Amino acid sequence: MYKPIFLRRQISQPVLLYFNFKKNGLWMDVGGITNFDYQEIKEYYHIVVISMPKTPLMVEESELDNQYSYSIKLMRN
């Protein structure tokens, strides 16, 4: 079945697809598109997320800052 592409590009902050929390395990952020109903969108579109350069697919909880963000400072180390 042909489906158009839903393209999301990250421009301001690196947004990961997955976080691995010690207590809760793997959590999916879907590259910052959780403000959309991506479960419904994927029925009609192929979802493509373009991350900022050097943004990993997944990080451990210890790599996040105190606001649970993956900061650019951490990314440069």
Instruction: Kindly indicate the confidence band of residue 26, based on its pLDDT and cuts at 50, 70 and 90.
Output: confident
62: closest CA among 50, 77, 49?
77
Using the CB atoms, write b or e for 38-57: b if 16+ within 10 Å. Answer: beeeeeeeebebebeeebee
Q: How many angstroms from the chain centroid is the CA of residue 4?
A: 21
- Whole-number pLDDT of residue 22: 85
Q: What is the percentage of the chain residues whose pLDDT exceeds 70?
A: 79
Strand pairing of 46-50 and 5-9? Answer: parallel
Whether 49 shows a pLDDT value over 70: the answer reads: yes
Residue 72 has pLDDT above 90, yes or no: no
What are the angstrom distances between the C-alpha of 41 and each of 10, 17, 49, 57?
Answer: 18, 17, 13, 21
Position 32 confidence tier, pLDDT thresholds 50, 70, 90: low
Which pTM was predicted?
0.57
6-24 pLDDT, tens digit each: 888 877 777 777 788 888 8
